[in-house]
Structure 1
Amino acid sequence: MTDDLLKPTQVHAEYGFSPQTLANWRWTGTGPAYIKTSPGKGGRIRYKRSAIERWLDERTVQSGGAAA
């Protein structure tokens, strides 16, 4: 089974997080895991679909439970 690699613009189209928000999360280390294809500013960024889904699952809050 393959895991889709998504560009930040594709993440935006499918999940609604803007490329700038994703960049901010990379900078602060708070967003989903990502792949950087080469060092420096010119490195292309890709996200595994499974990493985004896992990150979202970790932040899912169940209603009716204890206060968040």
Structure 2
Amino acid sequence: MSDILLSRRKIAARGGFSPNTLRNYAQRGIGPEFVQVANGKCIYSVAAFDAWLAQHKVGGSV
């Protein structure tokens, strides 16, 4: 089964970020992996984004 790919705007909404935050993360090399398509737009794998987000959790019960 293929992974679902979303635009930067949609993946940002999924994580509670602004698209500009993800753009800044990408420029700094600290954000989730993405694919830059021919028209210059970026698309993100939902599975890869969710994994990246899980790696950056802070707090919670022990």
TM-score range normalised by the length of the shorter chain: 0.7 to 0.9
**Stretches of structure 1 lacking an aligned partner (at least 5 in a row):** none
Paired positions, count: 62
Matches of 2:14 and 2:32 in 1, distance apart? 14
Matches of 1:23 and 1:6 in 2, distance apart? 14
Post-superposition Cα deviations, 1:15-63, rounded to whole Å, max 9, x if no partner, equal 211110011001000110010113xxx5110000011111011112353
Q: RMSD over aligned Cα, in angstroms? A: 1.7
Match of 1:35 in 2: 35
**Stretches of structure 2 lacking an aligned partner (at least 5 in a row):** none
Match of 1:4 in 2: 4
4+ residue segments displaced more than 6 Å: none
> Based on CA coordinates, which of the two structures has the bigger radius of gyration?
1
More relative contact order, 1 or 2 (CA 8 Å, 6+ apart) = 2
| Secondary structure in structure 1 of the residue aligned to 2:22 | helix
Matches of 1:61 and 1:12 in 2, distance apart? 19
Cα offset, 1:2, TM superposition:
1.9
